[in-house]
Amino acid sequence: MNKGGKVMKLGLCTGTYSDLPLDEVCRLAVLYGYETLEIETFERDNLHLDIHTIFDGDNIRKFKKKIQDYGLEISTLGNHPESQLVMGPFGQDTDDIYHGTKEEKIKFGTEAVIRAAQAANEMEIPVVVGFTGCENFGRVCQWPDARAWEREEEIFAQRWGKILDKYDEYGVKFAHEPHPNQMVYDIETAQRSVELLGQHKAWGFNFDPANMMMYGIDVEAFIDLLGDRIYGVHAKDAQIVKQNAGRSGLNPHGNYRRIDRGFRFRIPGWGNVNWQDVITELSMVGYFGPLTFEHEDITMSRQDGMKKTAEFLKPLLIDAPFEGRSDLNFRF
């Protein structure tokens, strides 16, 4: 697990600010008291990090110095779009990520995920966050082929096993973010993935409680059961919209701006996640890494979200684990 120096810090996922220059994002992060960044390495229209030129000359040193000059640190690299292509889907749905055949998409996604590990290694960043992909998420239903999901599991173990071996070589961990349309989306599939990958030490999870809530998952149970595999945390909240959930469910289709949706992503403190409980369980399993804010709240601006999240979460972060009582008659 990422114990992060035994100090919980507030981080910012720069991917949701990818239209802004990195310097502007850093200035905003400092303004509102953020300490760490998760920077995406996706290859298309990336204003923050050019994965193809970052290895040239002393570009890595310059890039790290830019972040350090703001008083920030990079906690993780991310590659959510292209990691999706390792398992799919491979049709029109992912053409905006990479336009090609199924085989071309798999090759491109695999190479992009491995390049992210190479960059993390050279930047001395311990974790890359992303997705696994899933060729056909509908296979979670046994009809019409009861063994379809099982066969997809076998492909998952083969493709991701080879990628994780490269991560092992680079000394970097991959933290999959459980999410709909992924091979791993809940507690059971997370536990199953650890089995399928032979307990691979480079394999773990980026815990996002909002994504868990989309399937009614007990977020504290995920932490307790998989805490030793939690390598990163996204600070994102979710609202179960009581007046709508009974008719649209928790994972409805359509635009997130629909007022009649039963589920909405929110900023921390504005949804149904009990952050005191989440932070407590993270502490209990030994996670003292960053809580990285990811803005997907359609009710307010990104700057509003950044400001309000910092105001809410920073007082809750635990600075150090319990050191025990000095009285020898009491042991915990």
Residue 266 near residue 299, CB atoms below 8 Å: yes
**Does residue 4 have a pLDDT over 50?**
no
Q: Is the pLDDT of residue 169 over 50?
A: yes
* Mean pLDDT of all residues belonging to the chain: 94
**Residue pair 332/325 in contact by the 8 Å Cβ criterion:** yes
Q: Is the pLDDT of residue 330 over 80?
A: no
Q: What is the DSSP letter of 91?
A: S
* Residue 265 C-beta-side C-alpha neighbours within 13 Å: 20
pLDDT of residue 2: 46
252-306 pLDDT per residue, tens? 778 888 888 889 999 999 999 999 999 999 999 999 999 999 999 999 999 999 9
Instruction: Answer yes or no: is pLDDT of 3 > 90.
Output: no
Q: Which structure tokens are listed for 310?
A: 């910092």
CATH architecture of 4-316: Alpha-Beta Barrel (3.20)
- pLDDT at residue 5 greater than cutoff 70: no
pTM for the whole structure: 0.95
Domain residue extents for the chain: 4-316
> Using H for helix, E for strand and C for coil, what is the string for 262-313?
CEEEECCCCCCCCHHHHHHHHHHCCCCCEEEECCCCCCCCHHHHHHHHHHHH
DSSP secondary structure letters along 103-156:
HHHHHHHHHHHHHHHHHHHHHT--EEEE----S-GGGGS-SS-TTHHHHHHHHH
End-to-end alpha-carbon separation of the chain, Å? 22
Q: What is the pLDDT of residues 106-152, one digit of tens each?
A: 999 999 999 999 999 999 999 999 999 999 999 999 999 999 999 99
**C-alpha distances in Å from residue 307, one per residue of 16, 30, 233, 266:** 15, 11, 19, 14
